[in-house]
Amino acid sequence: MIRKTVSVKNRKGLHMRPAEQLVRTASRFKSEVTLVKDDIPVNGKSILGVMMLAAEHGSSITVEIDGPDETDALKAISDMFDQDQEP
């Protein structure tokens, strides 16, 4: 298992559009993706789970990935957070 803490840079927070983009990216990989905010873990491949985080601008989220393609998955997901996340 690998993990990385990322920050929500989108000024509107992790709202529906970037959350959907995150779920779509996470679902491309075989590895399990878990997002943790305020000690609450959610499935990173579930839109309901990601929306439950209610992650506002500046929030810290720990991304935990476990599986055969975990390195590629972590890179793809952390790259999303490094960008503004606005299409």
What is the set of active-site residues?
A: 15
DSSP states along 12-73 = T-S-HHHHHHHHHHHHTSSSEEEEEETTEEEETT-HHHHHHT---TT-EEEEEEESTTHHHH
Whether the CB-CB separation of 75 and 26 falls below 8 Å is answered with: no
